[in-house]
Amino acid sequence: MADKAVDFLKEAVSNPQTIGAIAPSSDGLAQAMVSSVDWERVRVVVEYGPGTGSVTAAILERIEDRDFFAVELNETYAQGLSERFPELTVYHDSVENIDAILKTHGAAQVDAVISSLPWVLFSEDLQEVLLDKMLDVLAPDGQFSTFTYLHGLVAPKGKRFRERLEQRFAEVSRGDVVWRNVPPAVVYRCKR
């Protein structure tokens, strides 16, 4: 566990604008992310930015025979995920290319996106591009779950991110604060 935190931190220090965290997601946050999904309606699910795989492990426990794959930009994390979860398909790529990745994967659309991307660190243009590219592949009744750290709820950029979600989804709700995460976090659950 300590090794995992150190490995995470090494990459986080070298890539502050894309990793945006100082520690892997806690079990509590991983469970909150997985519980935010209405699994009845899901056949294909993708994880955006799985990092070292805390949320991935919780998804794998819940997945049964559903089609699950992950897209990770950081090469060290992508390699680590493939070693830790040999049964999982991990694409070392940017989610900006989700359309092409989905074609390679052989699926027409995804029913749920579970994201650990550090949205509030991204430029507003990049947020727009990534959200719109995701919507191009998300099923008409698709779901999107992501989290934000507590300070992101009150920061102007965090508030604008929530507005972007509300412009794109019919329903946007927020879960309870996961206080045991570092830093504390809340999950956004969005439905088309």
Q: Which of 116, 113, 74 is nearest to 94 (CA)?
A: 74
- Give CA angle at 134 (55, 139), nearest 5°: 95
Which residues in the 113-152 window bind ligand SAM by CB under 6 A? Answer: 116-118
For 142, residues 6+ apart whose C-beta sits below 8 A from its C-beta are 109, 110, 111, 112, 113, 191, 192
Q: What share of the chain is helix, strand, coil (3-state, %, to 5)?
A: 50, 25, 30
Q: Which of 39, 47, 92 is nearest to 66 (CA)?
A: 39
Which lies closer to ligand SAM via its Cβ, residue 136 or residue 171? 136
The number of residues that bind ligand SAM (CB under 6 A) is: 25
Residue of the chain from 45, 72, 80, 186 that contacts ligand SAM (CB under 6 A) = 72
Which lies closer to ligand SAM via its Cβ, residue 74 or residue 145? 74
* Minimum CB–partner distance for residue 97 and ligand SAM (Å): 8
* Minimum CB–partner distance for residue 58 and ligand SAM (Å): 10
Residue of the chain from 36, 68, 74, 80 that contacts ligand SAM (CB under 6 A) = 74
Per-residue x/- track, 80-119, ligand SAM (CB under 6 A)? --------------xxx-------------------xxx-
Q: Which pair of tokens denotes residue 164?
A: 């972007």
Q: Which pair of tokens denotes residue 183?
A: 């830093």
User: Residue 166 phi/psi, 5° resolution?
Assistant: -65, -30
Q: Which stretch binds ligand SAM (CB under 6 A): 71-79, 103-111, 163-171, 183-191?
A: 71-79
Per-residue x/- track, 8-27, ligand SAM (CB under 6 A)? x---------xxxx--xx--
DSSP 93: S
What are the residues binding ligand SAM (CB under 6 A)?
A: 8, 18-21, 24-25, 48-52, 54-55, 71-74, 77, 94-96, 116-118
